[in-house]
């Protein structure tokens, strides 16, 4: 079951990380992270008001048809701090085998600035590994048609840590996303 990042951050002793093993032809290494012996799944929020998707998921230099995209979540400071603690734990756990981990770490977090704190993850918007989408009533539904500014709750799976020659970081994937269709709880009244 997915736990909040605040719960995970308070129980870092329940995390384990495997020894990195080579995966694929490009020499990338991968270390799996588990929480209490199960894959690490994190629920971002308890509601649909505190997490926002500032713009539609996309791929750098993509044409929009890609099934796997990057998604950015605008997150409250408590979620940011929880993920900071998770990243710190990962760097410490990897330091003996990867002495340059501190300088090579690529954070999925962006600290609060004029846009607020942000977390970047991946999301599959098409099969075969499409994320599951749910409406406000927790019923399965199709992916949102308009992502910009969408209030969401998400479950993220930390697939592990990737280790390359020039970068190291978390592999985070959105597996479930609940959202309220825009207009369902409109904050602004129509002026006409």
Task: Check if the beta carbon of residue 94 is closer than 8 Å to that of residue 168.
Answer: yes
| pLDDT at 190 (0 to 100) | 46
Neighbours of 101 (CB within 10 A): 19
| pLDDT at 186 (0 to 100) | 47
| pLDDT at 183 (0 to 100) | 59
| pLDDT at 188 (0 to 100) | 53
Spatial CB neighbours of 146, under 8 Å, sequence gap ≥ 6: 56, 182
Task: Check if the beta carbon of residue 96 is closer than 8 Å to that of residue 139.
Answer: no
Query: Token digits for 29?
Result: 């290494």
Residue 127: inside a domain, yes or no? yes
Residue 190: inside a domain, yes or no? no
| pLDDT at 128 (0 to 100) | 87
Residue 189: inside a domain, yes or no? no
The number of folded domains in the chain is 1
Residue 118: inside a domain, yes or no? yes
| pLDDT at 157 (0 to 100) | 97
Task: Output the domain CATH number for residue 65.
Answer: 2.40.50
Residue 144: inside a domain, yes or no? yes
| pLDDT at 11 (0 to 100) | 97
**pLDDT digits (tens), the chain, 192 positions:** 899 999 999 999 999 999 999 977 678 999 999 999 999 999 999 999 999 999 999 999 888 889 999 999 999 999 999 999 999 999 999 999 999 999 999 999 999 888 789 999 999 998 889 999 999 999 999 999 999 999 999 999 999 999 999 999 999 999 999 998 765 544 555 455
Residue 50: inside a domain, yes or no? yes
Spatial CB neighbours of 70, under 8 Å, sequence gap ≥ 6: 57, 58, 59, 60, 120, 121, 122, 123
Parent domain of 126: 3-179
């Amino acid at each position: 079951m997915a736990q909040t990042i605040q719960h995970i951050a308070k129980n870092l002793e329940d995390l384990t990380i495997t020894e990195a093993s080579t995966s694929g032809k490009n020499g990338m290494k991968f270390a799996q992270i588990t929480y209490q012996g199960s894959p690490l799944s994190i629920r971002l929020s308890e509601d649909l008001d505190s997490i926002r998707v500032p713009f539609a998921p996309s791929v750098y230099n993509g044409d929009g048809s890609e099934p796997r995209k990057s998604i950015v979540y605008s997150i409250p400071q408590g979620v940011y701090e929880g993920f900071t603690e998770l990243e710190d734990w990962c760097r410490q756990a990897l330091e003996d085998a990867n002495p340059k981990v501190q300088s090579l770490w690529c954070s999925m977090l962006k600290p609060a600035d004029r846009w607020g704190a942000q977390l970047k993850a991946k999301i599959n918007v098409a099969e075969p590994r499409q994320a599951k989408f749910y409406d406000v009533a927790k019923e399965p539904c199709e992916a949102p048609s308009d992502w910009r500014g969408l209030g969401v709750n998400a479950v993220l799976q930390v697939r592990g840590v990737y280790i390359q020659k020039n970068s190291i970081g978390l592999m985070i994937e959105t597996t479930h996303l609940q959202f309220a269709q825009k207009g369902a709880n409109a904050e602004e009244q129509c002026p006409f």
